[in-house]
Structures are given as structure tokens and as C-alpha cells.
Structure 1
Amino acid sequence: MVPNQSTELSLIPSTYDRLLYHYGHLNWWPADSPFEVMVGAILTQNTSWQNVEKAIHNLRPYLKPEIIIAMEDSQLAELIRPSGFFTVKTRRLKNFLAWFLTHKFSIDVLQKMDIADLRHQLLSINGIGKETADSIILYAVNKPIFVIDAYSRRIFDRLGMDVPKDYDAFRELFENQLEVNHNIYNEYHALIVEHAKQFCRKKPLCSSCFFNDCQYRNTVNL
């Protein structure tokens, strides 16, 4: 049976409840400071979190915006080499830091900004896309915006939702079906990532997944 629109939309809150029940609170994003979150959000583009962790480990003695912005590009590139595309990411980090400097390298200043204005400014930075901008807003600045990623699309497509191709259309579906709450958005995105890593992989482990009513699971031979 093909789900109707109301059934599809109900997947958003019900899936959150099921994921939270199974995994519990995950306390994501793993970082020691909001600035580390910002750096991690940029470095995680087109790579695995395991590679980002290696780059963050190399950067840890220097993880202050005042230090990194003054660093030679060649030194920064070498430190973040494990994250891949290190030359491109060096430029993106420097672009971001040049913008962050205009806000006095202050999280407090960013927290006082309207979400739409903050997002617009982040998206104007060369190399910062929607997922990266929203990750910074949610996890570093602690403002409620839902982060959409490839895992979100994979899981909800397999559950039977007609997933919008447009990033913001999909993000707004989540925000319209959930309480506007930074902690819920934070937790839900973390749970989606965890479920995609544990079960809903590119080659999914359907036979052991607790979503036994998943549309995809019920169309494959287990």
C-alpha cells in the first residue's frame, strides 16, 4: 500500500520516538567547544567522521579562530590532510574565518542574530552549503534549525516517504511536524545518523533492523 500524505508526515514524529526508544540520548555533536563544531562541520564535507576526527586531533593545539586564521595555508592544509580535499577545505576554513572575524569570533554575537539572517550570511560564504550552514547554526550556535543529510533522505525514502528533492522543502517538512526545539532537532539528527550507520546503510541490514514495517524491508528478500 502506498502511504498517503498524512501517513507520510506522521512518519516524522513516530520515527523520532522509535529511534529515541532504541538508541536513547546520544549527546551529539562530539566537540569540546562551539568553534570545534564549526570546524568539524566544514571538514566533514565529502568524508567520513572518522577522518574528521583525525584532522581535529591534529588541529587540537591550535583550535582557536585567532590562531587558525593567522596560520599559513600550507600548515593548515597539512594538519587537515586526513579529512581529504585538504587544499579546498583550507580555503573554505579561511573564508569562514574571515566572515567569523567580522562578528568578533563571538558565539554570543551569532546567538543574538535572527536565524534567517545568520543562515543567509553563512550561505554567502564561498564553500558553505546548506547542510554545513545548518549544522553550524544547530550544533554550534544552538538555534533550532533541522539538518538534512544523505542519511535523512535514505532512511525516509526507504520508510516510504516521497522525499522532496529540494533541501529546504524536506527540512521544512521536519520543522512543521516537530516542536520548534533545538534539543529535539539536535537529538533527531543524531539518531538518524546513528541508525544509518547501524542498520540503514547503503547495503542495509534489514533482517536485523527493528523497523519491521519499513516499506523497503518488505520489498526485498531477506
Structure 2
Amino acid sequence: MPDTVPLIDLVHEDAHLLVLNKPAGLLCVPGRGEDKQDCLSARAVQRWPDALVVHRLDMATSGLVLMARGAAMQRALGDAFANRTVHKRYEAVVDGAMPVRDEWSVIDAPLIADWPRRPLQKVDPAGKPSLTRWRALSSSVSNGCNGAATHVLLEPLTGRSHQLRVHLLSIGHPILGDALYGSAQVQARAPRLLLHASELSFVHPATQQMLNFESAPAFSLSTARP
């Protein structure tokens, strides 16, 4: 009988938690409709029946996802995220040239749901406080000013929906391939959303060991189209 269990990119497994590498285009949890039932959590439960969701990545975003094994560990890891003791780092390729330097910059822009266009978010003074650290790693110009792109590191200090995508858009550098927030030109410059959750660091709630996991993105600055 052929193996019908969908493939899972396992980064770490122990008796208490899992770290998985989610591909772009796969939901973290089931959506509405029969065509949206295949997702990372459903695949995980087939292999680890006690696997529970702790946090999510957007469907278009790839990278590291942490899952708990059992309700007690889900609560403990959920508290760690709520208390901002989980270090998260992302990598993205964005439109335009950003200054490359060693110092980190901060985007401080409150976010709120854009109700007429749900599930989109927008910057609004009445929104929830939202902070993102960023640092440009490298920049290239392949076709004049219009062909510029920048590879950036991102650290969300808060966990708002679509935070990284909206924050980068707000400073004039949307993520390439972003079908929700990018213009037609921005969408056409990449085959997918060029956003990847590349690092997770946290204290293991059961062992008190400091854990650090890294995952390199499948894209680079050269992925950007002119």
C-alpha cells in the first residue's frame, strides 16, 4: 500500500514540541471549503496525534512553525509568545533600494483591520501598537531605479496580522510577490511572496534549555525580477 501521508519537513521533534518548516502556499490551519482542508496542522496530526497549533504563518509565507504536543505545552508556548519571549526573525526581498548598514531600524506604526477589505490590515493611529525591526543585508539595481530590490532581515516585536507586509508597504518597500498588498508590478517581480520565517529561539518550557532553530529561505536577491 502506498504511503498516503503528506510529506512534512521536520526540523525538530521531542516529547513536548515540534518545529516544522512550512512551504509557501500551504495553510497552517484548515480554511473554509473542502479544498482548504489540507494544511500543516492536519498533516502534523496524522503523524503526531497530540500536535496542537501555537502560532501561524500566512499561507504565502514559508518557514519555521512551532507546534505543541498536548494542551499543557500549548498553553506554555502560547504564554511565551504572548510575553514576547520567543525570538522570531524573518527574511524578505522587497521592492526598491534600502540603505545597507549594520544598525537596525524600527518601524513604529499601529495596525488595524481594514474592514471594507478584510482580511487586509492598514496603518491607523487608532490601531494596536505594532513594532518591527529591520536591517538591509544587500541591495541591487538590475534595470535602473525601477529594478531595485533589497534583501532584508525582519524582527517583529509585536505579532499583528500581516504586520511585516503592511509595515514594509508603509515605508515604500512592499515585499515582492505580495498578492494582497503589492501592486501588479510588485506581484510580477517574484513567483511567490518572498517572505520566510528563518529563525526561532526560545526556552524549552519542559527542559529549560535554550533552543535556536534556523531555516534558510529558498529565494535570494537574485530571485527578484526586473
The TM-score range, normalised by the shorter chain, is: under 0.3
TM-score (norm 1): 0.28
Higher strand share: 2
Q: Which has the higher helix share?
A: 1
Higher relative contact order (CA 8 A, sep 6+): 1
